[in-house]
Every structure is written in structure tokens, then in C-alpha cells.
Structure 1
Amino acid sequence: MQTPFIHNHQLNIIHKQADFLLKTMRTVADRKVLETVKDTAVTNVIDAFDSLTPEQKNLLEQMSKQEAAYDLQSYLDELESHVIPFPEVTVKQIQKLFPKSKKLKMPDLASLDYKRTTYLRWMDVATNRLYIIYPHGEQFLGIEGQITSTNKNGFCMFCNRHRELGFFNVKTRGSGPDNFASAGQYICIDDEACNHSITNTAPLERFILAAGK
């Protein structure tokens, strides 16, 4: 069995290309057009990876070999075994990431779908505080801040999809030791939808690194 090599955000890209391919299979009869779409979908998927072994590349190219919706879904289900899960995080690690939160509300780790998680987030409803944990290299990064519902739809800064947004505001250190600033962005209210849509971790990483300073 191959070592898992697909991150959640890359799996989202695969699902996005598969959805496009499925729509084409259902609406286009021209075989040449269909083959072109298949080739494009596979190219977009492979471009999402920095490096692949021949076996991994061959597995991803199998998307173009699927001839029916059922086959395509079976193929996607098979890919789940190749997904790198979100690293397991303990209660002690979470507490260490947020030392100033004395009454820290813990996430429900037991119900977390580790394979479909790019970043872990949860909310303390009583205080409207949002907590985010992101694996960066060999360590976890954590940020917290206030989130306010906007009751509006727009593009999430993390996943770049059009969804219901909240304004997430994080206090950061300013230029001096006693100065404070803030970093804010509009992000999805629904954390599961965001994790299932994110296809590029760069905006998320930039915000977390900037807000965590």
C-alpha cells in the first residue's frame, strides 16, 4: 500500500475537477471534447502537487479512465486511503497554544474528520471567540480572536468560495512592547464547508503567521 500523499486541500482540488468532469460526461456527447476535458482535469490535479512518484502520478491519472459516474465516485472513494490526516493534537498541546485562555473551551476532537481537515477551528459561543490550530512544519500554530457574523455572503479569505461570512479579528503585537494592533479577515462561518472547499493553503498560512506574531 502506498504511503498517504494527498493533503485535504489537494483532495478538494481533485473533487473539484471530478465534479467538472462529471458534469461534462452528463452533458457532452462529443468524444474528443470529453477526452480534452479529462486531460485538462488530470493536468490540473497533478499541478497541485510539488512532486509525485511514478506510482502516485499513475494513480491520479486514473481519473481520466473513468467512464461513468459510478466509476468516478468509486475512484474518489479509493483515494480516501491515500489522504494525509490532520496530525493528532492533544488537550495539553491545545492548552499550551492558548496559555492566556484560562477557561479554554476545548474542541470536540472525537468527532473531528481528520482526513478532511486542513485547519482545526472551533468557537466558544458564550464569548464569540474563535480558535484556530494549523500544522506548520513540525509544530502547531494557534491563533484566537473575536468573530462576528456579518449576515452576508461573500468570498472567504481562506477557501475563496462564496459563502456566509463572519469577520474574524485577532489582536497582534504592534511595533513596541506595549503596543497592540489587529489583523482581521472575512472567513466562512461554517468551518466544515471551509475545510471541504480550501484548495490553496497560502492565504491561510499568511494570515496565521501574521496574526500569530
Structure 2
Amino acid sequence: MKPFIRNHQYNLINKQIGILQHTYRTVSDTKIVESVRYSAQSKIIDAFVTLTDAEHQMLTQVTDMQTAEDFQAYLRSLEFVLEPFPQVTGQQMKKLFHKNKKLVIPNVAALDYGHMTYLGWSDIATNKMFIVYPLNGSIVGIEGKYTPTHKKGVCFICNKHEEVALFSAVSKSRPANASPDYYKAVGNYLCLHSNLCNKNMTDVTALEKFIHQVIGDDIHRYR
């Protein structure tokens, strides 16, 4: 079977498995258990736009399990069908951010592409944060200023309570009648550490909306 599960979908499945396990341990009412099982299956299936019969069958197997050992074995089996993040080279990153002549890039060899929805890193020297993401068949890159809050808050991408920073990027989208000096910044609170954000993500809607707000029609391609 070809890889078809993205990182955020895997996280969602893992979350639903946690809910199922808790239900099996604490609830004796069979109707409630059945309702939770149905809800878990529906949320997992709804996380995918299209599925083959084999993929659908694989995902629905989760509701047939009850023991911790079964669930762990199931999660391990999903590792083989994880769709990895596209491997982006240092040269490709430089092309994405070609206007940044002093770009500091992460160590690509140390990245866990299998459990990554977006590639994010920050440059402390310039107070800049960078995001690379596969969008509509292209790899896009956005950069912006970030201001650490030095406290925990709700990340707009993963919706979890983590240490966040205010990330602000200049939007490239311009109204048709905008003046030459038109300027618009788009900002929100984002996990300071992208590896934690990637572990928490179960949906890409907020991230993709933010990227669209920043890049408009200006899509940077590395291929």
C-alpha cells in the first residue's frame, strides 16, 4: 500500500485511539462505548478527502480493537503508510527565500520527515521565523518577525497550550486599487518550537488559511 497518511492525520488517529482506550477503561455502558467508537471512526474517515477501499478498511480496523497492545501494534503498522514531508535541500530553501541573503537554514539531515506537517525554524539573530509547507502541489515558504512571549498560550495552528511567539508576516496580497505604499501584516500566536507543534497538529486548515493570507498568488516553487 502506498503512503497515504499525513502527519496531522496520524496525530488525529492517535488522539482518537487515546479516547477509545480511556472509554474502554472507564465506561461500562455498552451504548456509550458504541457511540464513542462510531464517533472515533467518523472523525478518522472525515480527515481524508479520498480513500481507496483498502485504505478505508485499514482505517476502520481501529474500532475493532480494545487492548493497549492491539492499539500500539496498529499505530506501528500505520508508520509504514505515513506520507513523509517532501525532502527540501538547503539549496531549495535558499531559492524559496531568495531575498534573504543571510538565510540560516536548519540541519536537513536531522529532520524527522515522517512526522512533519510543516518545516519551521527561527533565527534568533534576526528575530525571524520561517515556514515551509507543501501547498497545492508546490512548496511554499513564508518568513516573518517573531516576538517570544516567554509564556504558554494557545497556538493558532495546533490549538494546543504551548510556549508561543507572536509571528507576523507581510502579506503579498494586494487589493486591485491599492496605493504603491500599501502595507498589510498578518500575525498570530504560533508554537515557538515547531517540533512540538508538528506532534500536536490534527488539522491543517488554520495553517493553510494563514499561508494564503500571506502569499496571495505569489507561490514560490523550488522544483
TM over 0.5: yes
* 1:40-93 deviation per Cα after TM superposition (whole angstroms, max 9, x unaligned): 211111111112111111101111121211110110111111111101112221
For these two proteins, the number of residue pairs brought into alignment is: 212
Structure 2 equivalent of residue 52 of structure 1: 51
Distance in 2, Cα, partners of 1:176 & 1:59: 54
Structure 2 equivalent of residue 161 of structure 1: 160
Gaps of 5+ in 2: 217-223
Q: Does 1:205 align with 2:208?
A: yes
Distance in 2, Cα, partners of 1:100 & 1:178: 19
Q: Does 1:194 align with 2:197?
A: yes
Moved more, 71-80 or 156-165: 156-165
- TM-score between the two structures when normalised by the length of structure 2: 0.89
Structure 1 equivalent of residue 69 of structure 2: 70
Q: How many angstroms does 1:101 deviate by?
A: 1.0
Matches within 5 A, 1:98-137: 98-137=97-136
Paired residue type of 2:105: M
The 4+ residue runs of structure 1 with deviation greater than 4 A are none
Q: How many angstroms does 1:28 deviate by?
A: 2.1
Greater RCO (CA < 8 Å, at least 6 residues apart): 2
Paired residue type of 2:84: P
1:88 is paired with a residue whose SS is: coil
Structure 1 equivalent of residue 179 of structure 2: 176
Q: Does 1:22 align with 2:25?
A: no
Structure 2 equivalent of residue 86 of structure 1: 85
- TM-score between the two structures when normalised by the length of structure 1: 0.93
Gaps of 5+ in 1: none
Distance in 2, Cα, partners of 1:46 & 1:212: 30
Q: Report the RMSD for the aligned CA atoms in angstroms.
A: 1.6
Q: How many angstroms does 1:32 deviate by?
A: 4.0
Structure 1 equivalent of residue 5 of structure 2: 6
Distance in 2, Cα, partners of 1:58 & 1:138: 27
